[in-house]
């Protein structure tokens, strides 16, 4: 990994391959793997990530919105792509780009069938989302008969899969709730199998579900954060490799005297002589204000440097009083040895939020 001259996000595709193989080792050969590459593949580069995973023969991709799926098609991705939160304004585009909608309400189901009919479609693949306790999106158990009637009388569409989403699969304190979700989904699956004559896939598990509930792997599992090197537990994290490393440099250093203040709203005031370094990354890049005032720690020459005062839009200032450093020296925000999970936890948030917030103005470098 070359020394940086500007803020740069390195994306390690060999680490991605390692994580892919690790996740594959946790599921049976009969269980398909759907790679979730929404939100620019968790803040990295969705096209580069998808191309690598397609070369590894992943079974399916999932994105949040149609635009993300269109970008993958434009990049040459040919594997099936599930749109998890399709919106009716994009139903025509979904059909035109051979994307597959996840339909979660009677409005989305009926509207998509209407558009499919207008486009002279036959057996267009659709997916149905059921709510088993997350209470975010999805049909209910009571909707099964009406759904079945619509599907059975609509030649325009074909049911490819049904899915639900676990709410707390990473939390051992919520094991009973997770098991109740699994049981509800199995009941829904059995009812639909009786009502709808064609076969369809069933999938429920996210990364933590894959690792903690093998009995719920079913026909397919969905993996997002796990592919990026985070397993929602310290034990699993040791076996995965973070694929993203965010580096930058020191722009300038300052010496503060007791009583000097630093940053907007004088967010830090020195009580002793100290040295600070200004770093060219801020909340416009995804390092939000929650990391200010010591909640975020970066590494300068392998030594921890707490963020001082308030995070600015384009810059942060860090304490380098006890660090031998100069202008241009490399700064690691997070990476394999100082993980995004730890960086986020210090500010009482999660790696998902940190990674997906990374600005597209940050330079990306692909390592393969």
DSSP state string for 181-201: HHHHHHHHHHHHHHH-SS--E
- The residues with which 258 forms a beta bridge, in sequence order, are none
Other CB atoms within 10 Å distance of the CB of residue 70:
19
Distance, in Å, from the CA atom of 307 to the CA atom of 5, rounded to the nearest integer, reads 21
CATH 3.20.20.10 domain span(s) along the chain = 31-228
* Of 229, 226, 222, 240, nearest in space to 59 by CA: 222
- Helix, strand or coil, per DSSP, at residue 222: strand
C-alpha–C-alpha distance, residues 103 and 110, integer Å? 9
Cα(136)–Cα(62) distance, integer angstroms: 18
Q: CB of 118 within 8 A of CB of 151?
A: no
CATH class for the region spanning 31-228: alpha beta
Phi, psi torsion values for 12, nearest 5 degrees? -95, 105
**pLDDT for res 3:** 84
Catalytic residue among 32, 38, 51, 247: 38
Strands 274-279 and 297-300: unpaired
Cα dihedral 257/263/264/265 (nearest 10)? -30
Residue 244: φ, ψ to 5°? -110, 130
Domain over 244-367 is classified CATH 2.40.37.10: yes
Residue ranges, comma separated, of all CATH 2.40.37.10 domains in the chain are 244-367
Cβ neighbours around 333 below 10 Å, total: 27
The pLDDT of residue 149 = 98
Query: Which of 3, 67, 194, 264 is the catalytic position?
Result: 264
Q: Are 23 and 227 in contact (CB under 8 A)?
A: yes
Q: Are 320 and 305 in contact (CB under 8 A)?
A: yes
- DSSP code string of 141-174: GGGHHHHHHHHHT-TTEEEEEEE---SSTT-GGG
Phi, psi (rounded to 5 degrees) for 217 = -65, -35
Q: What is the pLDDT of residue 1?
A: 65
Spatial separation of the C-alpha atoms in residues 90 and 111, rounded to whole Å? 11
Is 264 an active-site residue? yes
Per-residue pLDDT of the chain (368 residues; tens, 9 = 90+): 668 999 999 999 999 999 999 999 999 999 999 999 999 999 999 999 999 999 999 999 999 999 999 999 999 999 999 999 999 999 999 999 999 999 999 999 999 999 999 999 999 999 999 999 999 999 999 999 999 999 999 999 999 999 999 999 999 999 999 999 999 999 999 999 999 999 999 999 999 999 999 999 999 999 999 999 999 888 999 999 999 999 999 999 999 999 999 999 999 999 999 999 999 999 999 999 999 999 999 999 999 999 999 999 999 999 999 999 999 999 999 999 999 999 999 999 999 999 999 999 999 999 99
SS3 210: helix
Cα–Cα distance between 185 and 60 in angstroms, integer? 21
| φ, ψ (nearest 5 deg) of residue 103 | -95, 130
Q: Residue 162 to residues 130, 143, 204, 251: CA-CA distances in angstroms? A: 7, 13, 9, 52
Q: What is the pLDDT of residue 2?
A: 67
């Amino acid at each position: 990994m070359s020394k940086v001259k500007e803020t740069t996000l390195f994306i390690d595709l060999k680490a991605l391959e390692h994580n892919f193989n690790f996740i594959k080792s946790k599921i049976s050969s009969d269980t398909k793997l759907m790679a979730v590459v929404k939100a620019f593949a968790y803040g990295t580069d969705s096209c580069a990530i998808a191309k690598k995973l397609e070369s590894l023969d992943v079974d399916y991709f999932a994105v949040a919105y149609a635009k993300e799926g269109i970008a993958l098609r434009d990049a040459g991705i040919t594997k099936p792509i599930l749109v998890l939160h399709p919106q009716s304004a994009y139903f025509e585009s979904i059909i035109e780009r051979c994307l597959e909608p996840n339909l979660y309400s009677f409005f989305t189901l009926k509207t998509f069938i209407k558009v499919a009919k207008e486009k002279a479609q036959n057996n267009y693949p659709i997916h149905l989302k059921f709510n088993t306790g997350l209470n975010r999106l999805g049909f209910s158990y009571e909707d099964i008969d009406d759904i079945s009637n619509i599907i059975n009388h609509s030649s325009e569409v074909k049911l490819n899969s049904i899915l639900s989403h676990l709410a707390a699969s990473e939390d051992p304190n919520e094991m009973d709730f997770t098991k109740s979700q699994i049981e509800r989904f199995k009941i829904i699956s059995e009812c639909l199998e009786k009502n709808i004559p064609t076969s369809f896939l069933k999938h429920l598990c996210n990364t933590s579900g894959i690792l903690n509930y093998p009995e719920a792997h079913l026909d397919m599992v969905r993996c997002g954060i796990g592919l990026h090197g985070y397993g929602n537990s310290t034990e699993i994290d040791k076996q995965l490799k973070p694929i993203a490393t965010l580096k930058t440099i020191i722009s300038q250093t300052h010496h503060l005297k007791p009583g000097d203040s630093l940053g907007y709203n004088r967010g830090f005031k020195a009580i002793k002589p100290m040295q600070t370094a200004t770093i060219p990354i801020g909340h416009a890049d995804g390092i939000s204000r929650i990391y200010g005032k010591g909640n975020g720690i970066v590494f300068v020459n392998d030594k921890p440097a707490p963020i001082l005062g308030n995070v600015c839009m384009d810059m942060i200032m860090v304490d380098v009083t006890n660090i031998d450093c100069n202008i241009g020296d490399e700064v690691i925000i997070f990476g394999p040895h100082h993980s995004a999970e730890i960086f986020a936890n210090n500010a009482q948030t999660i790696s998902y939020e940190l990674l997906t917030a990374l600005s597209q103005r940050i330079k990306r470098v692909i390592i393969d």
